[in-house]
Structure 1
């Protein structure tokens, strides 16, 4: 919050980010952690940091200004020196899986626009680095971490790096997913089935588990998990058993996560997406199988519309939740499908 130079500064109204407060006696409430070279007073009663508080000013500060509240706020350009304890962060952090392209990329960029620092995971390093560079160009921090989302050790390393870099997690968008070739059910290789399940379902579970562990212990506690469901969580497309089964299972994971997260201030919702224009939906222009046996092209929508919906879900306070949301191309053959 902006504070005029002449305004009195009640303790309850003080800006919190990057400020340190001093008592009437002039003693720092966080001694040894100010690191301030320059004291900026807002009608403060007391002096600068006590001598030896590593403020680099020898306790001189700037000329005193009095206030009835008797508090002085100081702002440091470099308030944390090497080796000091990391102060509690108020900057919000999001993790997006499958962030290198498509919906994941659109959501990651939209969250950065909304003020989040963003951790990115995906299979290919190059697209992740490109998205990270775009986020940093917006003035936000980014972490690009190539991850095998279906591998427990790889996901554990993702969350280790995330906590090491940002210290907390406010929003997880479980987005990573793959499909399978449209073949008859009895011709589907078991290896293909397992690959889809490992990525779409096990990957979402492992990331949810990692998010739970961090969100439960961080301060402020809690956070939000948003799962990418798909309209296939409602009704299937022809020859899509692995994808459809995992998306129905994601709905169950969403419900269980929402229930189990209540005690820890962890909210969970699901966005079911229909025909967002991505690399996965390019084939729709040439035509895809329909329930009546025909093959027809289908309309798509800009993935930015999905990103806007996810940012809205993420923006809610933790005492409110969008449990399920469907965002789809208006004219796609979904209603009445099957």
Structure 2
């Protein structure tokens, strides 16, 4: 399905623009990076581990695109600022940013969650988005064309939750509120900010302990209104819509893509 989806979305909506994708080494982040490249963007992929980033860049370059791997930990303000600077230095602008980096630590009741897991989720999911937003907005508001930012949150948080996910849901609710507040603060600066909230997606994060892809598919058929989890390319399509000129009057929205799970 991945190749079909990428071929179907090939175009030039983002030709001449630079897109930054955090958490771009795998899963949703990689799908988003590939989709932007297929639409003509120059793509900067960021994450804490260099090797997966290099793999994403190689996939983009194999398809004739331009990309840069930029290892960074966005929970550190210096890294977030350096990441934006690298995008501008290498490609000349920062037109789109997708704040996708996130971690899930849970699967146990809240009372049994290790304190370190709580702090890690806060650091990456909330502080990381806060620092990335600050660095991105500070650059975009200096550009005549402004910019568009999409934060990847979750249907866990504002919309629903599940056993063993209380802390994660709390961080994602914060991410949604933070992004919507920033949207109001900075739309007059020419920076348009929105949120995509995925549900269960075809990535390892949605697999339960000991579960295979086939097991997950069977569970989804029984529990999700749509009867299946989302493909990463479907999340990418939502991100690209919100970042595109077609969504020029969409500000501060939270777009659910969750197979109907939160209905």
Query: Is this a same-fold pair by TM over 0.5?
Result: yes
Give 1:318 deviation, angstroms.
7.0
Q: Do the aligned residues in 1 keep the contact of 2:103 with 2:125 (CA within 8 Å)? A: yes
The counterpart of 1:321, out of the listed 230, 250, 262, is: 250
Aligned equivalents of 1:264, 1:221: Cα separation in 2: 10
* Secondary structure, counterpart of 1:300 in structure 2: coil
Give the TM-score taking structure 2 as reference length.
0.84
- State whether structure 2 residue 132 is matched by structure 1 residue 132: no
Aligned equivalents of 1:118, 1:167: Cα separation in 2: 12
Deviations along 1:207-257, one digit per CA (max 9) or x if unpaired, are 111111110112x33111101111103111112122101111011112111
Q: Do the aligned residues in 2 keep the contact of 1:224 with 1:318 (CA within 8 Å)? A: no
Aligned equivalents of 1:334, 1:259: Cα separation in 2: 26
Deviations along 1:163-219, one digit per CA (max 9) or x if unpaired, are 21112111111111101131222222222111001000111111111111110112x
Aligned equivalents of 1:314, 1:328: Cα separation in 2: 19
* Secondary structure, counterpart of 1:155 in structure 2: helix
Match of 1:265 in 2: 190
Aligned equivalents of 2:242, 2:210: Cα separation in 1: 30
Q: Which has the higher contact order (CA 8 A, sep 6+)?
A: 2
Give 1:316 deviation, angstroms.
2.2
Aligned equivalents of 2:197, 2:247: Cα separation in 1: 21
Match of 2:160 in 1: 235
Higher Rg of the two aligned structures: 1
Q: Do the aligned residues in 2 keep the contact of 1:224 with 1:314 (CA within 8 Å)? A: yes
Match of 2:219 in 1: 297
Aligned equivalents of 1:307, 1:285: Cα separation in 2: 27
Higher-helix-fraction structure: 2
Gaps in structure 2 of 5+ consecutive residues: 1-14, 213-217, 221-227
Q: Do the aligned residues in 2 keep the contact of 1:277 with 1:303 (CA within 8 Å)? A: yes
Q: Do the aligned residues in 2 keep the contact of 1:267 with 1:318 (CA within 8 Å)? A: no
Give 1:285 deviation, angstroms.
8.0
Matching of residues 173-212 of structure 1 within 5 Å: 173-212=98-137
Give 1:266 deviation, angstroms.
0.7
- State whether structure 2 residue 239 is matched by structure 1 residue 310: yes
* Secondary structure, counterpart of 1:225 in structure 2: strand
Q: Do the aligned residues in 2 keep the contact of 1:216 with 1:264 (CA within 8 Å)? A: yes
Aligned equivalents of 1:317, 1:274: Cα separation in 2: 24
Give 1:301 deviation, angstroms.
2.3
The verdict on how the C-alpha distance between 1:149 and 1:286 changes in structure 2, with shifts beyond 3 A counting, is same
RMSD: 2.0
Aligned equivalents of 1:230, 1:110: Cα separation in 2: 20
* Secondary structure, counterpart of 1:268 in structure 2: strand
Q: Do the aligned residues in 1 keep the contact of 2:102 with 2:121 (CA within 8 Å)? A: yes
Give the TM-score taking structure 1 as reference length.
0.66
State the number of aligned residues.
235
Aligned equivalents of 1:191, 1:311: Cα separation in 2: 34
Aligned equivalents of 1:319, 1:97: Cα separation in 2: 23
